[in-house]
Structure 1
Amino acid sequence: MPQFLKDNKKYYTPVEYVFAKIGGTYKMPLLWRLKDKTWRYSELKESIAHLSDRMLSKNLKELLNDGFINKEVIPEVPVRTEYSITEKGMNSIPIISMLRDYGFELMKDDGIKH
């Protein structure tokens, strides 16, 4: 496959492009949590160890801009922000599930208990 440009970044394979969209430390765990229900910002922050406000905001913004999640701001005092997964985001769940299962398999092979 020939290389391609998107948002001034060069990609060499579709897999590289997928990981640019949903890869990294937090995007897949965020999508995994959102697959079953709507979460508030504070709930997401509390659910992932070592996640700073800055990184959570950055990853949520990228997932939102790429169409994987929705954001709803509920005007009450204090303001409540809720996140939910889109159809595009749901399409990533089988891939994340396969990677998760494979990760557990590799951990087992390496003698790591989960």
Structure 2
Amino acid sequence: MNNNYERPVAFIIPESAEGIYAASGSGNMTVSSLNVWDRWNGGGKGLISVSWSGINGTVSLTINFNNTIDQVEVDGVSANSRVSGSSATITFNASEASSCTIGVHVNNGSNIDALAVTGYDYSVT
């Protein structure tokens, strides 16, 4: 058995398509498109389904929209949420469940039918 430490070496070969990649962990998360649940004068409420697998730890999920939102609520996991303009950040423990529903409120005179998810990003700690 060899107990001597050998320092790792990385070679850069510009002609090669191969490389060393840092893994971000296993698991995946899916955020569905927004579906209108209710309409009222000056706004409405939409629902987003979020599901995940192979994720353990505290998730910080940021969802971006094409318009300003006023409030979010989360059903299915205990969560903290924060709204800032056209994005919402939801923080929750992924081990509580494998999915949740996020209610998005628009009360600013915008048309709920025009509200759409433009992207999302998440991190796990």
Normalised TM-score (structure 2): 0.23
Which structure is larger by alpha-carbon Rg, 1 or 2?
2
Normalised TM-score (structure 1): 0.24
